[in-house]
Amino acid sequence: MTATSWTRETLDRIQEIMDASLRTAGTVQRSFFGKEERRLDAQAFLRTWNGIYMCAAATQGSGPWPHLAGIKLEFDAEGELSMLLYQGGAREADLRANPRTVLQKQDDDGTVLTVYARAEVPDDEPVIDRRGRAHIQVRLVPVRIYAMGPYVSGPLSRPDRAGNGRA
């Protein structure tokens, strides 16, 4: 279920990750995500994230290729992420060998939301969906978060969407 509000405690925890991420960002990364006029606070970040359906999820392959999947992924009321993982796919093999994943949601208004997270892959029995695919639910713990809101100037900015959120 899509959460649309969070406790002060959850917001503070997410905000701390966002602030620490920006503090330790490299120069190039800070030149993008550090723009004052486009920064999002924890609440705007969470609402914007859950307001976008598709998420790109990158994992490190054991071979020479990284992998990238298009999935559905939302923050729950506790500010955690639960990812559906199909058994037998590249993403499952990747995460069992290396639990680090990077997630990104974006909007053509310039919004870019990036979450570095660790996956906790359980030993649960898989569930079979109606297409016959086996899957398990994997908990993701955010480690770093970078968030950038819509363009505020230039040809792609949309003045009607100004403000740090889309709630």
**CA 136 to CA 92: how far, in whole Å?**
10
Nearer residue to its own copies within complex by CB, 15 or 60? 60
Residues in the chain, total: 167
CB of 45 to its own copies, least distance (A): 14
**CA 122 to CA 139: how far, in whole Å?**
8
Task: Return the residue of 41, 84, 86, 126 that touches its own copies, per CB under 8 A.
Answer: 86
Q: Binding of its own copies at residue 50 (CB under 8 A)?
A: no
Q: Which residues contact 87 (CB under 8 A, 6 or more apart)?
A: 126, 133, 134, 135, 136
Q: What pairing do the DSSP bridges indicate for beta strands 81-86 and 112-120?
A: unpaired
Give the number of residues in contact with its own copies, rule: CB under 8 A.
41
Task: Return the residue of 37, 125, 131, 154 that touches its own copies, per CB under 8 A.
Answer: 131
Residue 18: which of 48, 57, 56, 59 has the closest Cα?
48
Query: What is the DSSP code (8-state) at residue 137?
Result: E
CB of 59 to its own copies, least distance (A): 6
Nearer residue to its own copies within complex by CB, 68 or 162? 68
Task: Return the residue of 68, 127, 162, 167 that touches its own copies, per CB under 8 A.
Answer: 68
Residue 21 host element (H or E): helix 8-23
The stretch near its own copies (CB under 8 A) out of 6-14, 38-46, 85-93, 159-167 is 85-93
**CA 74 to CA 128: how far, in whole Å?**
21
Q: Binding of its own copies at residue 154 (CB under 8 A)?
A: no
* Interacting residue ranges for its own copies, rule: CB under 8 A: 26-29, 31, 52-54, 56, 58-61, 64-68, 70, 86-90, 98, 100-104, 106-108, 110, 112, 114, 116, 131, 133, 148, 156
